[in-house]
Structure 1
């Protein structure tokens, strides 16, 4: 049984940690697989969104620690509704609808404009170590680049034609 499964389709890469008997605790093979997969996704323009999930009803309990520590998930406090109310989560859905809700969001991201999404991710990644002036400069650069892409023209054309846009990352 492969410890990590990968599926690709419509710009979405789904990585499933496949160790349900261990509540998908990540072992050395999982970490190596994840490192390889992330490098592939970074190089492949057809891979537009990444979804991490776990087999057997559990996402992942973290790193496999062998005999160290106890078993079981951390027990937090508060409810999903409270988390949504304070903006900690985007939505609260019933467990039975979780997979469909996650795939819908991931599909929306995968169908988005790759250049704009890439620049947004880079800006967010740098935001924690940037000054306000640096962040504004990065944003201005992103706007300048994005306004001249084919994807921007496609967005306006699709809007005028009342159809979903088809972005190419150009």
Structure 2
């Protein structure tokens, strides 16, 4: 994937297969405008079809991750969308993120609220600065949760805890988010970039086919019965045994060296 700079996003593609997507509206705390939702959807769809991408890092410019949908933003000079049409764009956007086969790390450097919090939840791993803050802020705006939050959050932290965060719309700090099980790691703000770079590099160096199938199995089997989960695991593992990566892993183990994975 070639590096590109869009109206609301900055995309950096590293040589090791790590793509960093930076939401770039710092004066609005990276609030998601209609243009940003469109650019995010198109970018995630492009990444989904690019075999050179091994890992994605999502973050925000300045002092925020994403403060949610920009309720003050308009849709440009074209015809106004009905509310359901606008929400359909949001649904397509989060579906595109959720469908990416490679691991996605949310690097939360500041506030993540509303759709911004749920964008982080839709990623596979969340690493937060100790200065990060989280809120399902919808109720304060007279709104119900969206961007997939009603599906993801209770599966992550339990139904009653999810209702607590949704009903009261409180702002919680990074340590509380870690205690609730929302984030994987909280690190000092000055160490955030280095920590995420290390995790992203390790993921990018892993076996892409096996990691992709494990990601999909964990996602799908969260709502499957045990028998269906075992069947899906068997099918995925059978495919792994036909790949060059699995042969390379075994060979590297026997030769006592690190494996080199190619995604074949």
TM-score (norm 1): 0.85
Q: Which runs of 4+ in 1 moved over 4 A?
A: none
Instruction: Name the CA shift for 1:78/1:100 in 2 (closer, same or farther; >3 Å).
Output: closer
Q: 2:8 touches 2:25 (CA, 8 Å); kept in 1?
A: yes
1:139 deviates by 0.7
Equivalent-residue separation in structure 2 for 1:32 and 1:87 (angstroms): 30
Unaligned runs of 5+ in 1: none
Shift of 1:88: 4.6
1:3 and 2:3 are equivalent in the alignment = no
Q: Which has the higher contact order (CA 8 A, sep 6+)?
A: 1
Q: What is the deviation of 1:30? A: 1.0
Q: What does residue 51 of structure 1 align with?
A: 57
Contact 1:61 1:73 in 2 (8 A): no
Q: What are structure 2's unaligned runs of at least 5 residues?
A: 1-5, 74-132, 136-170
* Aligned partners of 2:30 and 2:66 also within 8 Å: yes
Structure 1 counterpart of 2:25, from 9, 19, 28: 19
> In angstroms, what is the RMSD of aligned CA positions?
2.3
Counterpart residue number, 2:175: 79
Q: Take 2:255 and 2:38, find their aligned partners in 1: how far apart are those partners?
A: 46
Report matched runs for 1:1-170 at 5 Å.
Answer: 2-9=7-14, 10-66=16-72, 74=135, 75-76=171-172, 79=175, 83=178, 88-170=182-264
Shift of 1:124: 2.0
TM-score w.r.t. the length of structure 2 is 0.57
Q: For this pair of structures, how many residues does the alignment match?
A: 164
Residues 2, 162 of structure 1: alpha-carbon distance in 2 compared, 3 angstrom cutoff: farther
Say which structure is richer in strand.
2
